[in-house]
């Protein structure tokens, strides 16, 4: 008796969770102390807190890099204003559970750290192009190295 070979069923691709920082449109705050730009998370076409959310990139990106550099199961990604926070739990096997705005979604976290590192590198380029605070630039370089 000949048995037919069956290919294993492929699991559907999980939506990817990425951080978005619109560094190309970043501007110094009125005080000249912070870089402000659009910052949010993108998951399966949904944005959190909003695609119009603006925040201090020079504060959030180091926070988020510090989270990514730790070896733990659950990560917290906070925003400056409001109660806005996303928690991401590593489920193993490249799967993560993202919780935000009362919703929970299983997703791929494969690009999460990379998207935060990429945004931080673009912010560092802004620092260097404008001669922004060298101490802040050095701290951001260290945070990037620790997260990579």
Could you state, in order of their start, the residue ranges of all structural domains in the chain?
A: 17-147
The token pair that represents 133 in the structure block: 């605070």
Name, in order, each residue with C-beta under 8 angstroms of 103's C-beta and a sequence gap of 6 or more: none
pLDDT of res. 23: 92
The token pair that represents 63 in the structure block: 């926070």
pLDDT of res. 8: 52
Residues of the chain scoring pLDDT < 70: 1-12
Tens digits of per-residue pLDDT, 106-147? Answer: 998 888 999 999 999 999 999 999 888 889 999 999 999 999
DSSP H or E run through 148 = none
pLDDT of res. 9: 58
């Amino acid at each position: 008796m000949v048995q037919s070979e069956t290919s294993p069923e492929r699991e559907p691709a999980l939506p990817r969770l990425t951080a978005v920082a619109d560094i190309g449109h970043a501007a110094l705050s009125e005080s000249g102390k912070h870089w402000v730009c659009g910052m949010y998370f993108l998951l399966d076409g949904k944005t959190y807190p909003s695609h119009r959310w603006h925040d201090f990139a020079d504060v959030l990106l180091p926070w988020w890099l510090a989270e990514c550099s730790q070896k733990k199961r659950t990560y917290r990604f906070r925003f400056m204003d409001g109660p806005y926070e996303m928690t991401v739990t590593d489920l193993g096997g490249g799967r993560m559970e993202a919780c935000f705005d009362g919703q929970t979604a299983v997703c791929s976290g494969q690009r999460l750290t990379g998207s935060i590192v990429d945004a931080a590198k673009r912010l560092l380029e802004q620092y260097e192009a404008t001669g922004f605070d060298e101490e802040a630039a050095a701290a951001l370089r260290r945070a990037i190295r620790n997260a990579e």
